[in-house]
Every structure is written in structure tokens, then in C-alpha cells.
A and B are shown apart, each in its own frame.
Chain A
Amino acid sequence: MPHKTTVFVILLILILPTILLPQIKALDPTEQKLKEKASFLISTIQNANQSITQTISQLQNKDVLIPQPCIDTFKEAQVLVNQATEANQEEDYSQAIDLAFQANQKIKATLNLLDGLVDEASTEHGDYYKQTLQNTIDRYYSLLQRYEDIATSTSNRGTDVTAISAKLSTLRTILNSAKSNLNHEIFELTENEITQAQELIEELTGDFNTLAARLNIEKISTYIANTQQNLTALKEQVNSPSSTLTSNTKAAATATITQAQTSLDKARQYLDSQQISQTINELTIVQASQATVQNYLNPSSPTPTATTPTPSPNVSTTNSTSVTTSTVK
């Protein structure tokens, strides 16, 4: 036995470092993260220091009077920038972060005091205009890519997207032309083409939303059909001779099923007149009723929605449906 104990202790000594070492090493990333955060903030306030110095200098060159409180606040900010930089160099990262934030506040106050003095015209140079147009074209290209992907997914589902595809193709042509005109610095033509592209994108957004409405009706129809099957199955279960329900519970379950059936019928009617919001409301009632009946049939069941049919042909991995209308920001 003592021999076994020795072996065990040796094993423990061998295993322990392999378990504990990663835990010890795990402290390093925290320190590293603090260092990176401090570096980031120091870099930020140094940029601010330089940028504001530059802006003030530009204003003074144009004989713009800088208010004394603005100069004083900026001086205080500069002192804090230096102190934060020193703390960072001394590897006191927590102190550096604290001082950087104080500097940050002073910088923000300086910017507020500069508001109204800075002439926007003097800060946007010719190249900036070109960059902005380039930026807009790039943004539209990425939007085009996104729209093309949606069109492909919709087409793969078997829906006709010929008209949308034609517009997407036109959009690509316009963007290619705008890009070329911008490269040749024909700005007005580029601007016109950007406006055309925007109009086409708005049109496409509308087309996709119309398509969404059509797809939604198909989805809800399938959902209603599946819910009807489920409701019929529940009714059979309640009325089955093998059912163990008491007469009172059976009566309550039957009443709930009848209520669900009424709501489902109303949902069908609303869907026929394309009143989607009302359709969803009725389906919500159906869903809640189904859950109640499930509880009657299986009081211990933790998830009464478990036998709810798959609502959409596009959702193949789920068997349950929660009827939730909640809001998220």
C-alpha cells in the first residue's frame, strides 16, 4: 500500500503542473490586454494632441481668435497626455489608462469649445471629395453583392427572380461606369451615376420586400396546414378511449381545442385577405391553446410546445415553435 501511495503522489506531482501551468499562463493575457488598452488610449490622446494643435494653428494663421478657456483646457489636456505617456512608459498601465481618460475628457471639452470656429471648407481638400465618392461606390458594390446573394438564395428555392436579376445586372453596369468615370475624375458624371445607383438600389429594396411578402404568405399557409394537422392529432388524443384524462379535464381540453380551431379558421380568413398582422395574432392564440392542451395531456411535460409542427419548409432542423412577439433593441 505505501508503495501505491508513493506512485500516486509521484503521478500527482507529474500531473499537477500540466493542469496548473495554463492557469498561471492565463494571467498573462490579462496583463497583455491591459497593456494594449493603455497603448491604444495613449495613441488616441497623442493623436488628439497633434490634431488639435494643428487645427488651432490653422485657425490662428487665419486670425481666428481662440477663446482663452479653450487654450487653457487644451493645455491641461496636454499635461495629462504627457503624464499618461510617462505612466505607460513606466509600465504602470492602470495609471496610464486613468490619466488617458482624464486627458480624453479635457480633449473633448477643448473640441466643444472649438465648435463653431472650425471652418469646414478649409478641412476638406479635393482628394477628400474623390475619396468620398469612391467610398460611396464601394458601399454600393458591397450592397450589390449582398442583394445578389439574396437573389441567388431565393432563386435556389425555386422562386422566379428574373426581373430582380436584370436590375442587379444594370446596377453593376452603372457602378462599373461610375468607378471608371471617377478614375478619370469626371466628377459630375460619377455623381449622376451614384444617384442612379441609389435609385435602383431603392427600387431593388422595394422588390425584395414585395418578394418577402409573397414568401411570407407561402410560409404562413404551410404553417397553418401543419398546425391544423397538429390540432387534429391533439383532438384524437383527447378523445381516445385510452386517454387517462378526467371528465373535467377532458371537457376543458376540448373547449381549448375548439377555441384554437376558431382562431385557426380566423387566421385562414385573415391570410386570404392578406392581413398578416391579424393572422399572426390568431396564430399566437392557437399556439398558446396548443400548449395548454399539451399540459392537460402531459402535466409533467416541461416544454408543452414540443409536438408543434415545423412551421416553415425552410426550417428543417427544429420541431418546436415558440410563439413570441418580443422586442429587442
Chain B
Amino acid sequence: MGRRLVVFEVMAFLILIFSIAPKPIAAQTQVSNSLTLTVYLDGFVQVDQIVEFNQPVLSFNVTLLSNTFQNLLIVDENNLPLENTINGDIASIYNVGSTKIVVSYLTQDLTTKTGPYWTITTDYPESIVLVLPRNASIISINAVPDLIESFDGGLKLTMPTGLTEVIYTTEHAFDEQNKTTSSTSSLDQWLLTAAVVLVLIIPLALTGILLHKRKKIPKPKTKKDEKQEEVDLEKLFSKHRELRQDETQVIKYLASKHGKAFEAELFELLNLPRTTTWRLIRRLEGLEIVYIKKSRRQNIVLIRDKYLKKQ
């Protein structure tokens, strides 16, 4: 009887241990894929995608988050650049034996702005890490992050699989979200913060407007003997149906100026903040519609030759 009891207890003990002990790690997947989106204040997003394999591969395709990007560079596990070809938003990478690829590029296409509110949207089949600009305050979020980390005034969110849509502002800085346990702060504190923010923002905004109005905008020099170019708007607009209204306005203005104008003229034309206009011009540059030429201390925006009518 005693022997049976011991056997029973030993078995019970073993069952207990096995049920509590960590389960063996499942066989590693073929591919691990991580994506980090670092959002900058001006709406640019640095995309860093790391794909790892459990054995070397010859070539690999990666779908980029946008087909308008800058500074695409792909390296392997030894930080050596990898050859690639781009077809639309697909990057075919010839990694000939590498077990890890790091794809990095910059894009403006993931963010949009309405007034003080920025929206970053992406749909990704795996969890992503989203790094928001310093002092960004989230206004709306479509899913609860799996992990919320704060660092040096910034927020790092690990978002679940699928659609991510975050609306944030960097202009009404509340500084509360980087302290995840401080949500019960009193209304008085909020009102005080709002008052301070208002007191700081209003004089700055007024100064900015006054300075902007004071500034004289020089007109570009026109040489009498210079060839007057004509922009092929039909060709341009049929090729770029994705253009926004303000972008179309800029192009039409450039066309009326024979394909070129000072950047400062465009700031005045659009009556938008310099940063917004600057972003818009950079986007047109990224779409290879315009290019920028420096003239002394002024930038001249020019329509690319391919959209100029042949004389």
C-alpha cells in the first residue's frame, strides 16, 4: 500500500512538474519579419524592415509600403549593400546566401495632415513598431497597442497585426501619454497646460505671420533671349492622376511661368506655411515632376524636361 502511495505521489509530482514547466519552443518559422516606422515631424516616415531566414536564400521579394520613396538601401547581415531591382512597389533582392536583409527607405505617403492633426495609416499583415515624433500627442488610435514605451519625449508603440491608423498632433503638446500611469491627472492641470500652450503659441503664431507678410518676394530674372518653354500639362496630368489639388495648382502656376518659378513665389501663391509648401514641392520632386535649382540664395523650382513641349 505504502509503495503504491509513493508511486502515485511521484507520478502526480512528475505530471505537475511537466504541466508547469515551459513548453519546448516550437520549430522556428522560415521567415521572421519585423517592421519599424519612425515618423518625423514633417510627415516623412523612415521605414526599416528586417527579414530573417533560418537558411540562406538566393533571392527574395519585399513589398514596399509605397511606390514613392527616397534613399532605398538594402543591406545584409554583414551590413553590406545588396543588389535589388524595383518594379512598382516590389523590391526584388538578390541576397545570394544571406540570412538577413534590412530594407530601409523614406516615404511621405503614409501620412496626411489636416490642420494640426497628422494621420499615419498602414495596413500590414504583422505587428509593427511605430515611433512617433517627440512631443507627439495621440488624438485617436484604431487599436490598443500591444506595448507602449516612452523614450526621451517620444512614444514607441507596438501595434497589432492589420490596419494601424493613428491621429496625432505635435502642436498641442500635452506630454501625458509618455507616462502611461498618469491618466488620472486633474482637470485643473489640463486647463493650466492649455493656458500655457495658448500663451506660448499665440505670440509665436502672430510673430510668424508678421514676418511672413513683411518679407518681399523677389521675382525670377527673365532673360530676353531665354527660350520660353511650354509645359505639356495634358501629358503631365494624364501620367500623374494621383496629384492633389494644391499640387495641381502649383503645376499650373509653374506652367503659366514657362515651367519655372522661385520657391518663395510658391509659398506666396499657396498661402500655406513654408513647411507645408516645402513638403509639397519635395513630394513633386519625389514624383519626378519638378527639380530644384539653386540660384544664389534662392531656390528655383523647374518642371522636368520630359514634361516640356518640344519647340
Contacts and interface: CB of A to CB of B under 8 A. Distances in A.
A38 B169 CA distance: 20
B277 to A, nearest CB: 10
A302 interface: no
A289 B211 CA distance: 72
Contacts of B73: 146-147, 150, 205, 208-209
A55 interface: yes
Given A23-B20, A40-B180, A132 B190 contact: no
A35 B167 CA distance: 22
Interface stretch (A185-193, A229-237, A239-247, A251-259): A185-193
B222 interface: no
A213 B83 contact: yes
B183 A43 contact: yes
Interface of A: 1-2, 4-5, 8-9, 12, 16, 19-20, 23, 35-44, 46-48, 50-52, 54-55, 85, 88-89, 97, 104, 107-108, 111, 114-115, 118-129, 131-132, 135-136, 139, 143, 146-147, 149-150, 153-154, 157, 188-189, 191-192, 195-196, 198, 201-202, 205, 208-209, 211-213, 215-216, 219-220, 223, 276-277, 280, 283-284, 287, 305, 310-312, 314-315, 317-318, 320-329
B69 to A, nearest CB: 11
Contacts of B6: 1, 4-5, 8
Contacts, number: 309
Contacts of A220: 94, 96
Nearest to B103: A328
B13 interface: yes
User: Helix, strand, loop or mixed for chain A's interface?
Assistant: helix
A161 B292 CA distance: 29
B5 interface: yes
Interface in B45-66: 46, 51, 53, 55-63
Nearest to B114: A115
B196 interface: no
B33 interface: yes
B297 A44 contact: no
Given A8-B6, A46-B190, A127-B204, A328 B81 contact: no
Given A19-B20, A192-B294, A50 B97 contact: no
B217 interface: no
Interface of B: 2-3, 5-6, 9-10, 13, 16-17, 20, 31, 33, 40-42, 44, 46, 51, 53, 55-63, 70-85, 90, 92, 94, 96-99, 104, 106, 113-117, 124-125, 133, 137-142, 144-145, 148, 167, 169-172, 174, 176-177, 180-184, 190, 193-194, 197-198, 201, 204-205, 207-209, 211, 271-276, 278, 292, 294, 297-299
A122 B84 CA distance: 44
Given A312-B96, A328-B51, 19 more contacts: A12-B13, A41-B141, A47-B139, A48-B139, A50-B172, A108-B140, A118-B115, A123-B115, A124-B208, A136-B40, A153-B80, A205-B72, A212-B74, A216-B94, A219-B97, A311-B56, A318-B97, A324-B57, A327-B60
Contacts of B33: 328
Given A129-B208, A188-B298, A311-B97, A47 B41 contact: no
B104 to A, nearest CB: 7
Contacts of B3: 1
B2 A2 contact: yes
A315 B98 contact: yes
Contact of B81 (A23, A128, A212, A277): A212
Given A223-B96, A276-B94, A314 B183 contact: no
19 contacts: A36-B181, A39-B182, A43-B183, A47-B137, A114-B114, A131-B41, A191-B299, A195-B292, A196-B294, A205-B71, A208-B81, A212-B83, A215-B80, A216-B94, A312-B96, A321-B58, A325-B58, A327-B62, A329-B63
Contact of A321 (B56, B83, B207): B56
A135 B42 contact: yes
A40 B148 contact: yes
A43 B292 contact: no
A135 B132 CA distance: 13
